[in-house]
């Protein structure tokens, strides 16, 4: 049975336990074994980190919620977990419910944004360059993962299709 690590900011919300229960059941319903960060007793930072690394080391794939969290970008812990998984050669399936691009999301959080007519480069209100590749997240995340525009279940379907295709 393939093991799927579940990454994302869902663990920070007041209904985290309910989300975890639902997500783990959906993973089982799709024939996978869920590996979830909430499945631990310790709440000390180092213990959480080491526990999550152990789970990632056991995983055959990662499903990651990349919905912007506390700003225009994905949760930084999720970004780390994605990078770790990619470095281990694991397939990573990222998802978010909106089709917004990085430019759209930065515009929403850091307006005004301005297009420099000479360079055709977008800049945020601080003058920083905005990646405008039409991607849903930073290019390092978007290019290294299989992005699914949709729900957690849609990402599970993509993972199921992937494992069926590779046998």
Give residue-wise pLDDT tens across range 43-66: 899 999 999 999 999 999 999 999
pLDDT in the model for residue 141: 97
Same domain, 24 and 44: yes
User: What CA–CA distance (Å, rounded) separates 140 from 142?
Assistant: 6
Which domain range does residue 127 map to? 100-135
Same domain, 79 and 52: yes
pLDDT in the model for residue 40: 85
**Cα-based angle 77, 9, 100 (whole degrees, multiple of 5):** 100
Same domain, 37 and 115: no
Query: Residue 166 pLDDT > 90, yes or no?
Result: yes
Q: Which structure tokens are listed for 69? A: 């969290």
Query: Residue 42 pLDDT > 90, yes or no?
Result: no
Q: How confident is the model at residue 77 (pLDDT cuts 50, 70, 90)?
A: very high
Task: Return the CATH number at 78.
Answer: 3.40.50.450
pLDDT in the model for residue 41: 81
pTM of this structure: 0.95
**Between β-strands 61-65 and 92-96, what pairing exists: parallel, antiparallel or unpaired?**
parallel
pLDDT in the model for residue 162: 98
Same domain, 147 and 126: no
Percent of the chain with pLDDT over 90: 94
Peptide bond into 112 cis (omega under 30): yes
Cα separations (Å) of 44 from 41, 47, 81, 139? 9, 5, 18, 32
pLDDT by residue (tens digit) across 101-142? 999 999 999 999 999 999 999 999 999 999 999 999 999 999
Same domain, 20 and 88: yes
Domain tally, the chain? 2
pLDDT in the model for residue 100: 94
Query: Residue 18 pLDDT > 90, yes or no?
Result: yes
């Amino acid at each position: 049975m393939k093991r799927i690590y579940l990454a994302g900011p869902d663990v920070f919300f007041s209904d985290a336990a309910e989300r975890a229960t639902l997500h783990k059941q959906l993973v089982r319903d799709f024939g996978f074994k869920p590996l979830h960060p909430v499945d631990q007793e310790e709440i000390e930072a180092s213990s959480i980190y080491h526990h999550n690394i152990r789970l990632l080391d056991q995983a055959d794939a990662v499903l990651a919620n990349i919905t912007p969290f506390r700003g225009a970008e994905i949760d930084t812990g999720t970004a780390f977990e994605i990078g770790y998984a990619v470095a281990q050669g694991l397939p990573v399936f990222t998802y978010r419910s909106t089709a917004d691009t990085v430019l759209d999301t930065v515009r929403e959080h850091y307006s005004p944004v301005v297009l420099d007519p000479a360079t055709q480069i977008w800049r945020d209100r601080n003058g920083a360059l905005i990646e405008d590749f039409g991607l849903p997240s930073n290019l390092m995340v978007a290019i290294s993962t299989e992005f699914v525009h949709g729900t957690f279940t849609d990402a599970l379907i993509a993972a199921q299709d992937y494992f069926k295709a590779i046998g």
